[in-house]
């Protein structure tokens, strides 16, 4: 049986539904009772994700854990004020679960980390590799790295297999954050000054990430490995918006404004970080996942965007 934490989140809920579709036995550990739990799925309530959490009831009969629950990145938080909150959940909470899991005989622990462990940007043509030195710059990335290191120590001490997955931006129906903002702009037909961005960025469709997680649950070679995952094709912000236009059949005007000017104006408006995400490079190399696990993304970017952005009536 698989124990899933974070089942109420965007990725966790998609993973839960796919596991059920594949006839996997699943137990979810949540703080609150889920109203629409798929038939046949067990549920255990836990108070929180902290150093004091008792996971004993949740771990009975569990072979593998997919740990997705976390304190997520908050764009407007003061890093110094929030670091201890991230650490309590992402580090102490995760290590507590892992220690109890190892003691209960859990075979494999899959940890959903983040590309933010590697850093915020890459040089042109120099994608992140698994072997690159970690360079997190915010509390979310820093505590994900701390958790990875602590989990690796527990794995080494106990023999419980550890799999670490670091995805870039995940998109799909129901995604929030930057993807939702861009999608809303395109759907409204708002003219955007993003028609001349020549960067490259990696993304991962929710269907691709879910498929990869399930591969890591079962594949014998995934144990004690760290993976970067993505769609396998890097595109510019301008290309992304064009594909969004095609997926939504909208005629949004993309005005060709140089990226340097966008960054300058955004900096003057106090939005430099936003401009850097729109104009900068962030690429990941997924060759390890391809070579070691024989995995390839089952969904193309175009298919992923259509699934994420089309209206419900368009599916009928």
Distant-in-sequence, close-in-space partners of 315: CB < 8 Å, separation ≥ 6: none
Give the C-alpha separation, 244 to 302, whole Å: 8
pLDDT score of 32: 86
pLDDT tens, 103-115? 999 999 999 999 9
Q: Which residues are the active-site residues?
A: 140
Tell me whether residue 241 is exposed, middle or buried, using C-beta atoms within 10 angstroms of its C-beta: 0 to 12, 13 to 18, 19 or more: buried
pLDDT score of 269: 87
Residue 80: pLDDT band (50, 70, 90) is low
Domain boundaries, the chain: 2-166
What are the structure tokens assigned to 257, written together? 């404004």
Residue 148, Cβ neighbours under 10 Å: how many? 21
- Average pLDDT, rounded, for the chain: 92
Residue 228 pLDDT exceeds 80: yes
pLDDT tens, 255-283? 999 989 999 998 998 888 889 889 999 99
Residue 316 pLDDT exceeds 80: no
Residue 125, Cβ neighbours under 10 Å: how many? 9
Listed residue (198, 176, 180) closest to 188, CA to CA: 180
The answer to whether the CB of 140 falls within 8 A of the CB of 86 is: yes
pLDDT cut 70: percent of the chain above it = 95
Give the C-alpha separation, 165 to 15, whole Å: 14
The answer to whether the CB of 202 falls within 8 A of the CB of 283 is: yes
pLDDT tens, 122-159? 999 999 999 999 999 999 999 999 999 999 999 999 99
Q: Which residue has the tokens 């969904």?
A: 299
Give the C-alpha separation, 294 to 292, whole Å: 6
pLDDT score of 73: 62
Residue 315: pLDDT band (50, 70, 90) is very low
Residue 34 pLDDT exceeds 90: no
**CATH superfamily label, 2-166:** NAD(P)-binding Rossmann-like Domain (3.40.50.720)
Q: What is the pTM of this model?
A: 0.93
What are the structure tokens assigned to 3, written together? 């124990």
Give the C-alpha separation, 248 to 237, whole Å: 16
Give the C-alpha separation, 252 to 240, whole Å: 13
Q: How many residues does the chain have?
A: 316
Higher pLDDT, 168 or 33: 168
Tell me whether residue 139 is exposed, middle or buried, using C-beta atoms within 10 angstroms of its C-beta: 0 to 12, 13 to 18, 19 or more: buried
What are the backbone angles phi and psi of residue 121, rounded to the nearest 5°? -160, 160
């Amino acid at each position: 049986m698989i124990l899933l934490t974070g089942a109420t989140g965007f990725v966790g809920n998609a993973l839960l539904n796919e596991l059920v579709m594949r006839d996997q036995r699943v137990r979810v550990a949540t703080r609150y009772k889920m109203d629409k739990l798929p038939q046949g799925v067990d549920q255990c309530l836990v108070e929180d994700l902290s150093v004091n959490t008792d996971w004993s009831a949740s771990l009975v009969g569990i072979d593998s854990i997919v740990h997705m629950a976390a304190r997520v990145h908050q764009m407007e938080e003061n890093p110094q004020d929030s670091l201890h909150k991230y650490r309590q959940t992402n580090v102490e909470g995760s290590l507590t679960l892992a220690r109890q899991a190892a003691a209960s005989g859990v075979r494999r622990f899959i940890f959903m980390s983040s590309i933010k462990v590697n850093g915020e940007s890459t040089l042109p043509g120099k994608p992140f590799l698994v072997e690159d030195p970690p360079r997190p710059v915010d509390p979310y990335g820093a505590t994900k790295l701390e958790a990875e290191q602590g989990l690796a120590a527990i794995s080494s001490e106990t023999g419980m297999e550890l799999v670490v997955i670091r995805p870039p931006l995940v998109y799909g129906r129901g995604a929030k954050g930057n993807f939702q903002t861009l999608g809303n702009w395109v759907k409204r037909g708002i003219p955007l000054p993003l028609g001349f961005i020549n960067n490259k960025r990696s993304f991962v469709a929710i269907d691709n990430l879910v498929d990869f997680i399930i591969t890591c649950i079962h594949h014998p070679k995934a144990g004690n490995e760290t993976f970067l995952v993505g769609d396998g094709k890097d595109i510019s912000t301008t290309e992304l918006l064009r594909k969004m236009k095609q997926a939504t059949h909208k005629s949004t005007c993309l005005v060709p404004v140089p990226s340097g000017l966008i960054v300058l104006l955004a900096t003057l408006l106090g939005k430099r970080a936003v401009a850097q995400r729109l104009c900068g490079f962030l690429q990941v190399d997924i060759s390890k996942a391809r070579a070691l696990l024989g995995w390839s993304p089952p969904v193309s970017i175009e298919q992923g965007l259509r699934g994420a952005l089309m209206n419900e009536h368009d599916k009928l």
